[in-house]
Amino acid sequence: MLDLVIQNGQVVTADGSFAADIGIAGGRIVTLGLGLDAPQKIDAAGKLVLPGGVDSHCHIEQLSAAGIMNADTFESATRSAALGGTTTVISFAAQHVGMRLKTVVDDYAALARKGALVDYAFHLIMAEPRPDVLDEDLPELAALGHASIKMFLTYDKIRLEDAQALAVLAAARRHGMMVCIHAENHGMIQWLANKLVERGYTHPKYHAVSHPRLGEAEAIDRAAAMSLLLDQPVMIFHVSTVEGLAAVRRARAAGAKLWAETCTHYLVLTKADLDRPGGEGAKWICSPPLRDAADQEALWQALADGTLQTVSSDHAPYAADASGKYMAGPEPGFKQVPNGMPGLAFRLPILWDQMVNHGHGSPEAFVRLACTEPARLYGLDDRKGSITIGKDADLLIWDPARAVTLTAALAGDNTGYTPFEGMTVKGWPTTVLRRGEVIVAGSEVRASPGSGRFLARQGGPAAQPTGRLAPELDPTQNFGAELLESQAADVPK
């Protein structure tokens, strides 16, 4: 017996599109066919039906390494996500030096339980991979359904030295977890930023100069070499440059099991936004920085040819006031501005508009990049990311003809601005369902805070080692197995 049927829509999946009704019971998709009936009906005639968006990289209610709190709570961020059609988020549980990771995760979980309107999981940020964290917290957290780690190769206070990064990769390998990497060369950024500030070049536009393109490529090369040494899959977050893409391709050619994403803002904005009068450009400061039109073209090409697997928002919300972007005053130096921009609400509409209306890809490719691949790579594809029988009924009634001009008010987050202000896109979710329940109808959000659920995961096939180890660690040749299993000695002093 069905609870609900979505009738007369054109269903879009990563593999193809077809006319079908969708039968839903117990919050799941239980049948696809024509002429289905149920007590509750939603008519999707003339519309598309897409899977709910999966945003696999967003910062929510997070304390930054510099001690600055995000403007959004789980409630405001996930309300914003839902309004734009995203029904699953993977945000962060961020360890800082001195903290136990288990406690950190408990704290973020309590916040999400209270506030989240959509379903969620966490990447575990490792700022200090101590023996207690790697050998006690991590196995416990893996058993509780946490399946991915994030580490930073730059940013004071949370960046890891290479030996620490290797310790994290080896620990992730033991637990079948994915390791996501912020890959930029710290020394290059530090040297350039210091030189710029010393000479008075502090306007927001110099932020882009301080994060050199070569620094992204170098760090991806290094991450790939570490991944190859230990045969541990990695995901390179927010690739932004032609040079970074070349490094991703080099890594794969060398045999690395390496995945890569880019973010909405790198596809549609450029560093020209940093060069606005006075302090306005501070609103567009994020890391890696916005780049050039040629990078945008290269990123689109990389999404089309499979170099990049997913598009996330990297939603990192700091308010456009004295509590956030302007905490150092109305014309802050680029080093005084918290890094990051809001983007949860508009990821799907912008990506759709660019792909389907501006020639960058098909509706099916859109679903792959925004829903299906992020679910698969992070071990959520048993429930999320596609319209198939057995999956959660996370569904969007999508009006491909609806044109919308993007505004901060429409985004509904707590930052008070959107970097995409004034952009008009065509294609919008008019109804959003989460596990068979209408959570957004038009502009009305119906889900209650705390109704989102934690998604326990296991590292899926994308996070499993290939079995091809570096010769020094090959257990068939020498004592490699022993080195990989050794836990205490993994942790650099």
Dihedral pair phi/psi, residue 254, rounded to 5°: -80, -5
Choose from ligand DUC, Zn ion, none: what does 339 bind? Cβ within 5-8 Å by kind.
ligand DUC
Quote the tokens at residue 189.
Answer: 């950024």
Which residues, numbered 294-323, are part of the site for ligand DUC (CB under 6 A)?
314, 316
Show the tokens assigned to 429. Answer: 């979710």
Does position 150 interact with ligand DUC (CB under 6 A)? The reply is no
The answer to the question of residue 210 lying near ligand DUC (CB under 6 A) is no
Helices H / strands E in the chain, number of each: 16, 17
286 binds ligand DUC (CB under 6 A): yes
User: How many angstroms separate the Cα of 332 from the Cα of each of 124, 277, 344, 489?
Assistant: 31, 12, 25, 44
* 324 near ligand DUC, judged by CB under 6 A: no
Binding status of residue 207 toward ligand DUC by CB under 6 A: no
Q: Kindly tell me which of 52 and 340 has the beta carbon lying closer to ligand DUC.
A: 340
Of 141, 112, 147, the residue nearest 449 (C-alpha): 112
Does the protein bind ligand DUC through residue 290 (CB under 6 A)?
A: no
Q: Which of ligand DUC, Zn ion, none does 378 bind, CB closer than 5 to 8 A by kind?
A: none
Nearest-approach distance from CB 163 to Zn ion, in angstroms = 21
Q: Which does residue 160 bind out of ligand DUC, Zn ion, none, counting CB within 5 to 8 angstroms by kind?
A: none
Copy the structure tokens of residue 194: 């210091």
Nearer to Zn ion, 273 or 314 (CB): 314
Question: How far is it, in rounded angstroms, from Cα 141 to Cα 128?
Answer: 16
Q: How far is the CB of 101 from Zn ion (least distance, A)?
A: 18
CB of 423 to ligand DUC, least distance (A): 20
Check binding of 264 to ligand DUC (CB under 6 A). Answer: no
Which CB sits closer to Zn ion, 307 or 312?
Answer: 312
Q: Taking CB within 5 to 8 Å according to partner kind, which of ligand DUC, Zn ion, none is near residue 286?
A: ligand DUC
Return residues touching Zn ion (CB under 5 A): 182, 237, 314
List CB contacts of 282: < 8 A, sequence separation 6 or more: 204, 325, 326, 332, 334, 337
The C-alpha atoms of residue 429 and residue 145 are separated, in whole angstroms, by 30
Q: Which residues pair with 182 in a beta bridge?
A: 152
Select from ligand DUC, Zn ion, none the partner in contact with residue 87, using the beta carbon and a kind-dependent cut-off of 5 to 8 Å.
none
Are β-strands 148-152 and 178-182 bridged in parallel, bridged antiparallel, or unpaired?
parallel
Closer CB to ligand DUC, 59 or 173, in the complex: 59
Binding-site member from 47, 130, 182, 453 for ligand DUC (CB under 6 A): 182
- Under 8 Å between Cβ of 67 and 363: no
Residue 419 found at the interface with ligand DUC (CB under 6 A): no
Q: Which is closer to ligand DUC, CB of 258 or CB of 263? A: 263
- C-alpha dihedral sign at 235, 269, 414, 70: positive
In the complex, the smallest distance separating the C-beta of residue 122 from ligand DUC, rounded to whole angstroms, is 15
The smaller minimum CB distance to ligand DUC, of residues 68 and 246, is found at: 68
343 binds, among Zn ion, ligand DUC, none (CB under 5 to 8 A by kind): none
Measured from the CB atom, is 7 or 70 closer to ligand DUC? 70
Q: Per-residue x/- marks for ligand DUC, 45-84, CB under 6 A? A: --------------x-------------------------
* DSSP for residue 322: T
Min dist. Cβ of residue 311 to ligand DUC (A): 15
Residue in the structure block whose two tokens are 């010393």 = 198
Q: How far is the CB of 340 from ligand DUC (least distance, A)?
A: 3
Give 181's strand partners.
151, 236
Residue the block writes with tokens 């030295």: 161
DSSP state of 289: P
Q: Compute the distance between CA of residue 27 and CA of residue 30 in angstroms, rounded to an integer.
A: 9
Nearer to ligand DUC, 317 or 460 (CB): 317
Of the residues 88, 164, 241, 287, which one makes contact with ligand DUC according to CB under 6 A:
287
Q: How far apart are CA 12 and CA 108, in angstroms?
A: 34
As a residue count, the chain comes to: 493
Among 184, 281, 187, smallest CA distance to 241 is for 184
Closest-CA residue to 480 (of 462, 461, 464, 467): 467
CA distance 302 to 295: 10
Query: Contact residues for ligand DUC (CB under 6 A)?
Result: 59, 182, 286-287, 314, 316, 339-340
